[in-house]
Amino acid sequence: NRLGQKFIFSIECELDYKKALFSDEMTDSISYADIADVVVGTATSNTYNLLERLAGEILKNILYKTKLKINST
């Protein structure tokens, strides 16, 4: 951003990895590289006044890119 701050992001995803444990297929998991790309792309493509807004945009973009769903329970 224009002020040059550096951020460290800690992203947690709780997923059902049962299939991936035995299949070794990327289609049964998610790409951590894709998630990292979304975080970097979102954080560097725009400026934000609030970290909360940036976090919301990162979440929105991760959900869109990975087709993950938020568990509402």
The 10s digit of each residue's pLDDT in 14-68 is: 878 888 889 988 888 888 899 999 999 999 998 888 999 999 999 999 988 887 7
Read off the tokens for 31.
């790409």
Instruction: Residue 57: name the closest of 48, 66, 70 by CA.
Output: 48
pLDDT band at 7 (very low <50, low <70, confident <90, very high): confident
Instruction: Say what the pLDDT of residue 3 is.
Output: 62
The closest alpha carbon to 17, from 3, 9, 27, 8, belongs to 27
Cβ-contact 42, 57 below 8 angstroms: yes
Report the distance separating Cα 40 and Cα 37, nearest Å: 5
Confidence of residue 1 (pLDDT cuts 50, 70, 90): very low
Q: How confident is the model at residue 72 (pLDDT cuts 50, 70, 90)?
A: low
